[in-house]
Amino acid sequence: MRNLIAGETRKALTGRAWWALPLAGAWLCLITTFGYVSGGEKAIADGSTSLAVGQDVARSWMMMFLLAAVFGAVHVTRDYASGTMVRSALLAGSRSRLFGAKLAVATAAGAAFGLIAAALGAVSVYLGPLPFGLEAAADGETALILVGVFACCTLAAPWGALIGWIVRNQTGAVATLIGLTLLVDPGLQRLIPEVSKYLLTIAMSSVYRDVKPDLLSLPWAYAVIAAWLAAAFVAGRHLVRTRDIA
């Protein structure tokens, strides 16, 4: 299994996805950071604080979890796209072993995305406000937000990989993740917040300590995320074992 995971890791580092996706995520997060710090003076004049602006900046790095999920989906589906899935399963020894190896590599990649997001988020908290004449401020809550960002990225990547196993088509899997994260779940949160808080991406809002109302407590949020991952794991593993993978 160790050699199989090493082989899948080499696959994950082949091509442009391993650097293009975190770069794109960092760019999106930096744009959001710019929005918070450029409007920081007005926000403080309206009653906010430098500490609250810093926490918003830290929270803006949660967007990296979408790119981590996309990476997980791409890592699985590009074997289907290139027609090499059958060969990969034969070399792995079984479909289940390949399923587990790709999931392990996706989870490790998610942790790497999380470390990048947390590190750049911390730098943004301290350096972002300075060009706008604002005081950089952080506290324990800021640190917990960055820990939550790391956790969300680590959990999102295997979620993306499982969606990849279920959907199998690369464009379809990526579109599903983007649609759920940016359109469906936020839309349902506006319409039926008391129900949508049990959706995976909305539950992640509790993990990175969003300040929106109607969110789950942290233990319940982790329980809901675990339930979604478990359901996707069962569905993905069943489909991998029973469907033609050619």
In the prediction, which pLDDT does 185 show?
Answer: 86
> Would the pLDDT of 172 be above 80?
yes
pLDDT value at position 225?
96
What does the alpha-carbon distance between residue 18 and residue 214 come to, in Å, rounded to a whole number? 35
Q: In one letter, which amino acid is 49?
A: T
Q: Residue 14: count other Cβ atoms within 10 Å of its Cβ.
A: 10
Give the confidence band of 111 by pLDDT, cuts at 50, 70, 90.
Answer: very high
Residue 10, pLDDT score: 86
pLDDT in tens, 191-236: 888 888 899 999 999 999 988 888 899 999 999 999 999 999 999 9
Secondary element (H or E) of residue 88? helix 85-92
pLDDT for the residue numbered 117: 95
As given in the structure block, the two tokens for residue 220 are 């319940």
pLDDT digits (tens, 9 = 90+) for 113-155: 999 999 999 999 999 888 887 888 889 999 999 999 999 999 9
| Averaged pLDDT for residues 162-176 | 93
Tell me how far apart the alpha carbons of residues 47 and 243 are, in angstroms, rounded to a whole number: 58
The reported pLDDT for the residue numbered 179 is 92
pLDDT at res. 38: 85
Given this model, what pLDDT does residue 36 score?
87
Tell me the average pLDDT across 161-181: 93
Query: What is residue 46's predicted lDDT score, i.e. its pLDDT?
Result: 79
pLDDT at residue 148 in the model: 95
pLDDT band at 86 (very low <50, low <70, confident <90, very high): confident
Pick from 70, 60, 71, 65: nearest CA to 29: 60
pLDDT averaged over the chain? 90
> pLDDT (tens digit, 9 = 90+) per residue, 7-56?
888 888 888 888 999 999 999 999 999 888 888 778 887 788 888 888 99
State which amino acid sits at residue 201. Answer: T
Q: What is the pLDDT of residue 230?
A: 96
**What is the pLDDT, as a whole number, of residue 43?**
80
